Structure 1
Amino acid sequence: MSPFTLAVLINLLFMLFRLAYIILYPIDLSPEEAQYWDWSRHLDLSYYSKPPMVAYLNFLSTSVFGNTELGVRITPVILSFVMSVLLYIFVNKLFNERVALLSSVIPNLFVGTAINSVLMTTDAPLVFFWGVTVMLIYMAVERNTAALWFWVGVFAGLAFLSKYPAVFLFPLTLLYLFLVNRELLLSTNPYISLIPAFTLSLPVLVWNIKHNFISFRHVSALAEKNAHFPNLGTFFEFIGGQVLLLSVFPFFFMVYGWWKTFRERDSRLVFLTVYSLPVFIFFSSLALKKKVYANWAGFGYFTGAVLAALFMDKLLKRSKPIFIGVVTLSGSLIILLHFTPLIDYVGLRKLLPPKRDPARVMIGWEELGREVGKFYTGKELVFSSSYQIAAELAFYVEGNPRTFVFHLGRMTQYYLWRDRLKTYKGRDALFISDWGLPDRVKKHFKNYEFLKSVDIFWRGEKVKSYKIYRMTNFTGWFDESPKGY
């Protein structure tokens, strides 16, 4: 069996496992997935916090598979498989079949890859289009044809439509050209890529002009929120998150690859390092000021994973037992990530109690939707003060009702849809909350009554509780004042 065939078969097995996991394992959509699905019911040029690609892909997949978990999550499963095959082909040309096989298979054992291959968030399309773009850049630098640079621009534009960090492609590519072929900086071909990239990005700019640049205000607010320097706590939390994203040992192989790049000056290593190390440095520096979520730097590990695979291959040649140990540890982390109740059986419950289990955010939404559905006749206004709850109810209440948010905190996409509230004037409503009924909500209704409390259990412990209220005679508007972006 050829290494390529083996790579395809192994990745097919991972794909089948993910499909079975989505269909059979009792977890629901995460709140972000539910929100992006809800966006797909209101297609637009862009959205409050993110570009539109995730909504477009959700629209396509749910048009085929329906409003189901599979309908939402089939896209990252397919993208992950296709990328693994493309990565094999690319790395085989870059190095050899052994490294190509490891580069295609080993990332499946990364925590970050496992998440992006199942959950339909903006990271899944970003990583895919980012990966295709950087591979095309390598080929375009080698051949310098107008056609290749044009396709670089197309996929860079698609990456930007997926998530804003795609803008890193421009400065990193300039850096790469400066390091490996400075003459190309004076050639017109590389700049051809800017035409399709800008054209594809233009709708997002137009949408933001119409909405007072709200997306950029949101991103700016995220960058400044609770910022102070130096913040060693958030810095080490970020570094720990990066180690975990690459399942511990592969992270250190990647770091070793960065170090070897400066020692050996191999142009292939320079390519892999340029599109990974600066991303890590940028977000690490930001983490010295504020909390930075681990996944923010994840797209930079596309080439970083190839570096890790390259030096893991060298380990395999020297010591197969150690290599097997590294792979086994990574595989064990992936199993625990997918099936966190196993943590209780291996005696690590105190290390990760149910209330800190990341899986808890995907538990209980279908149950809550079912309970709300018992009171929903199809005529009521369904809303919450949390966009997460509103999005999940839109997905899990039978009939997929239109839901709304009464904003007590920061603004969300739902604030831009509040004009449609007037169609519910005079009707009853169902308000769902995880903490109670605010006075500001009460004043928009004639009366209210508490209907039910819904407790959610995970790994034998209550992790969430929701309250359902019936409100009568809606005024037709919300007196909202979102606090920031």
Structure 2
Amino acid sequence: YMNLLTRELLGVSELAVRITPIVLSFLLSILTYLFVRRVFDQRSAIIASTLPQLTVGFAINSILMTTDAPLIFFWSLTVMVLFFAFERNSTWLWLFAGFLGGLTFLSKYPAVFLLPCALVYGFLFRRELLKDYRPYFSLLPAIGLSLPVLYWNYKHDFVSFRHVSTLASKSAGLFNIDSFLEFMGGQLVLLSVIPFLLLPYIWLKGLGDRKKAFFVLFSLLPFLFFAGLSLFKKVEANWSGFAYFSALVLVSTFLSRSILLVPAYLLSLLLFIFLHFTPLLDRIGLGGILPPQRDPTKIGIGWSELGRTVSEMREKGEKIVSPHYQISAELAFYVEGNPRTYCINLGRRMNQYDLWEKDYEGDAIFVDYRPIDGRVLSASEGIIEERVVPIFWRGREIRRFYIYRLKNLNKVEEEMPGSY
């Protein structure tokens, strides 16, 4: 819905895609300042509203429109309102918290952590509220907003929940210290060095204070869950990122009275610069630390060039087909006229394209990371034109696209999804 709104206002453009996380980040900074100033003090508020913008985790979600951008925004707002709801036990605050929690769930499913975090805090510090009827009013708007998601999943065999389950169990093992260390390293990068190293002490000390314990539990519990999960499977660094709003509030209160304040800003700024502008590493002879093939920014490179090439080859409005949803989605944006694109299954897990009608018969353009699959070629009457587009980043080839204009492509014999 956010993308729909910005597209209607700004048309199909990169600005329309990028502006939502920018606006959400700006609003969150203002609201964070007002919130922390009221709960703690002005110095902490200034730090809490500015330092996160220099951390990699929050900065990335300030410029990239992923589901994490609205998740972080609405999670943070829900935590703010829940804090006041616990303090005042006001019916309208509980209802408002539930409403924001519902929006958080619509953004991304990790919103479910709100409930156990609130229950644990209530049980440990505000047990009398658990006997009051008012806190449970928060469930009404939360469940109401979640019903469309639940109903859609019911109609589609709970496919999105199966997807989350697959992510949570994929590559699971008995004990994997490597994935744990990789997860912890990712958290250090996301939070920056000093905030990450301070957190264990801040969490432990904060549990002794009722007010700070609220922020401890809303960050520590999700962190412990994903850290524990990383002992058994690979956990992406960003999975726990939403919970660090509360953690950074605590870090800000600590740094407001610490000599580490300036170093924290400087180190965060350095990480921010070098991870957002990775070619600078090559300029100073440190490119080996993060070579182009492992550079996370490479994912955004080459799509406009691919779109131009496909636009040149697409002489008669040919359908555009790929076995990768990333390619199909990028071409829907970068190809002239923004045509509908299709994603066929040649051996992958299920994605959203499998839920949509696949009407790609006729002359078509097929795009892949490798030479054309025999099943695709045999389903057509032959290749009319083919091109190879190598993509370079920081002086090295990071990927190449194989593009084929096919005559009269019929339905390709697809595989059943291997997983969700």
The residue aligned with 1:406 is 344
Cα RMSD, aligned residues only = 1.2
Does the CA contact (< 8 Å) of 1:444 and 1:474 recur in 2? yes
Does 2:127 correspond to 1:182? yes
Amino acid at match of 1:410: R
Does 2:227 correspond to 1:284? yes
Does the CA contact (< 8 Å) of 1:276 and 1:301 recur in 2? yes
Amino acid at match of 1:338: H
1:296-335 to structure 2, matched below 5 A, reads 296-315=239-258, 319=259, 322-335=260-273
The residue aligned with 2:70 is 125
Amino acid at match of 2:2: L
The residue aligned with 2:313 is 375
Q: Distance in 2 between matches of 1:123 and 1:217?
A: 19
Query: 5+ residue gaps in structure 1?
Result: 1-55
Does the CA contact (< 8 Å) of 1:76 and 1:119 recur in 2? yes
Task: Give the SS at the match of 1:314.
Answer: coil
Task: Give the SS at the match of 2:404.
Answer: strand
**Deviation (angstroms), 1:450:** 4.9
Amino acid at match of 1:324: V
Corresponding residue to 1:149 among 70, 75, 94: 94
Structure having greater relative contact order (Cα 8 Å, sep ≥ 6): 1
Does the CA contact (< 8 Å) of 1:251 and 1:308 recur in 2? no
Q: Distance in 2 between matches of 1:471 and 1:481?
A: 24
Runs (4+) off by over 6 Å: none
Does 2:355 correspond to 1:416? yes
Q: Distance in 2 between matches of 1:302 and 1:282?
A: 16
Q: Distance in 2 between matches of 1:233 and 1:241?
A: 12
Amino acid at match of 1:416: L
Q: Distance in 1 between matches of 2:307 and 2:395?
A: 21
**Deviation (angstroms), 1:476:** 4.3
Amino acid at match of 1:288: L
Does the CA contact (< 8 Å) of 2:370 and 2:401 recur in 1? yes
Corresponding residue to 1:220 among 130, 143, 165: 165
Corresponding residue to 1:442 among 359, 377, 380: 377
Amino acid at match of 1:271: F
Q: Could you report, residue by residue, the CA deviation over 1:47-97 in whole angstroms, capped at 9, with x for unpaired residues?
A: xxxxxxxxx111111111121111011011010111111111111111111
Identity %: 50
Does the CA contact (< 8 Å) of 1:387 and 1:412 recur in 2? yes
The residue aligned with 1:268 is 211
Task: Normalising by structure 2, report the TM-score.
Answer: 0.97
Query: 5+ residue gaps in structure 2?
Result: none
Task: Give the SS at the match of 1:230.
Answer: coil
Does the CA contact (< 8 Å) of 2:307 and 2:331 recur in 1? yes
The residue aligned with 1:49 is none
Q: Distance in 2 between matches of 1:102 and 1:338?
A: 22
The residue aligned with 1:41 is none
Does the CA contact (< 8 Å) of 1:378 and 1:401 recur in 2? no
Does the CA contact (< 8 Å) of 1:253 and 1:312 recur in 2? no
**Deviation (angstroms), 1:449:** 4.5
Does 2:56 correspond to 1:115? no
**Deviation (angstroms), 1:480:** 3.4
Per the alignment, do residues 284 and 440 of structure 1 end up closer, same or farther by CA in structure 2, a change over 3 Å counting? same
Does the CA contact (< 8 Å) of 2:376 and 2:412 recur in 1? no
Q: Could you report, residue by residue, the CA deviation over 1:15-58 in whole angstroms, capped at 9, with x for unpaired residues?
A: xxxxxxxxxxxxxxxxxxxxxxxxxxxxxxxxxxxxxxxxx111
Q: Distance in 2 between matches of 1:480 and 1:109?
A: 44
Does the CA contact (< 8 Å) of 1:253 and 1:307 recur in 2? no
Does the CA contact (< 8 Å) of 2:44 and 2:256 recur in 1? yes
Does 2:189 correspond to 1:244? yes
Does the CA contact (< 8 Å) of 2:342 and 2:358 recur in 1? no
Amino acid at match of 1:448: I
Q: Distance in 1 between matches of 2:132 and 2:306?
A: 59
Q: Distance in 2 between matches of 1:156 and 1:270?
A: 20
How many residue pairs get aligned? The number is 419
Q: Distance in 1 between matches of 2:392 and 2:134?
A: 58
The residue aligned with 2:201 is 256
Amino acid at match of 1:284: A
Task: Normalising by structure 1, report the TM-score.
Answer: 0.85
Q: Distance in 2 between matches of 1:390 and 1:478?
A: 18
Does 2:14 correspond to 1:76? no
**Deviation (angstroms), 1:477:** 5.7
Q: Could you report, residue by residue, the CA deviation over 1:159-179 in whole angstroms, capped at 9, with x for unpaired residues?
A: 000000000001110111112
Does the CA contact (< 8 Å) of 1:137 and 1:152 recur in 2? yes
Q: Could you report, residue by residue, the CA deviation over 1:369-418 in whole angstroms, capped at 9, with x for unpaired residues?
A: 0001001135211011111111111110010010001112111100111x
